[in-house]
Every structure is written in C-alpha cells, then in structure tokens.
Amino acid sequence: MREPILVLGKYEILDAVGSGGMATVYRGRVAGPMGFEKPVAIKVLHDDAAADEEVVRMFIDEARIGARLSHPNIASVLDFGEADGRYFMAMEYVDGVSLAALMKHLAKGRKARPLEQAVAVHVATCVLRALAYAHAAAGPDGKPLGVVHRDVSPQNILLDRSGIVKLCDFG
C-alpha cells in the first residue's frame, strides 16, 4: 500500500492530478477496517485562496451544489470538510483522462489527428445531458437550485477507461 503524502481527516492524499487558480486536485483514498479502501479525488483549496472569505464561500457553495447533483455524467461530490486549516472536498475518482489531455495526446507527433466524430458526439451528448439535469435540479423544497456550470471546458470533462463521460467542477 502506497504511503500518503498528507492526511486530511479520514482522507489520505497520494499525489496531485491537477491544479488551478483556487485549488489542487489530488488522487487519494479513504481507508476503513479489514482492508476496506475506496479511491477518491480530493480537491484542496490553496492556502492563499482560503484566506479570502468570498473564495471560501464559493468553494462551500460548489460542495453544496455538487452534493445535490446525482447524475451518471456528473462526478459526485462525496464529502466536504476542513482539517488542519485546509478546506477540502472529496469527490468521485474518475480513473481516466480529461478531454483536454486526450485532445493534446491526439494532436501530438507526425500522426496528429482530431477526435473521432463518433467520440465527439458521445462526449457532447453526455455533457449536454449532465447540464440539462443540473439546470433543472431542484432542492428538497422543490425550488430550482439555479445551477450554472460557468466553466464547461475540456479540462472539466473527464473520460473514464470504459468511455463514461463525467462533467466536474461546478464551482
């Protein structure tokens, strides 16, 4: 078993998978008794971002919204917390690549090629289904949540190894 580089509450952080202006996303796990282990993605707010109350509020809102969205094409938010002065969000780990990484890989080298049309249509259809669901989502009181993604981009579209498409980062 690989040693964690950091522990936040019940989550063990293993390595970084991506970083943005507000937070870094890590591959991690939550471990339990008798060998139970579940892979997770853990989004940790940068220290400088955590010093800004507005950014913290936005991060909390992202977690709250994500926790309410349950759709096969949306990466699930599993947990939110604060440990050792760090705000974090535990999310479904998607074992695959971002659409951005796939497109970059396809564009490399002498045999550069675009994304196949059938793949592009599949990805677009899944993302549109996720957005339609999120835009129509309502809270427990039946009132619309008013979800707007604000950053539908190849970096926020994940493809797992079996071809399932997940939209993430509703912050």
47 as an active site residue: the answer is no
What is the distance, to the nearest Å, from the Cα of residue 130 to the centroid of all Cα atoms in its chain?
A: 13
152 in Cβ contact with 100 (< 8 Å): no
Q: Which residues contact 86 (CB under 8 A, 6 or more apart)?
A: 8, 44, 45, 47, 50
Task: Find, among 79, 95, 90, 81, the residue nearest to 25 by Cα.
Answer: 90
Q: Among the options 141, 151, 160, 169, which is catalytic?
A: 151
How far is residue 45's CA from residue 20's CA, in Å, rounded to a whole number? 10
How far is residue 168's CA from residue 155's CA, in Å, rounded to a whole number? 9
Q: Which residues contact 165 (CB under 8 A, 6 or more apart)?
A: 73, 122, 123, 126, 127, 130, 157, 158, 159
Q: Which residues are catalytic?
A: 151
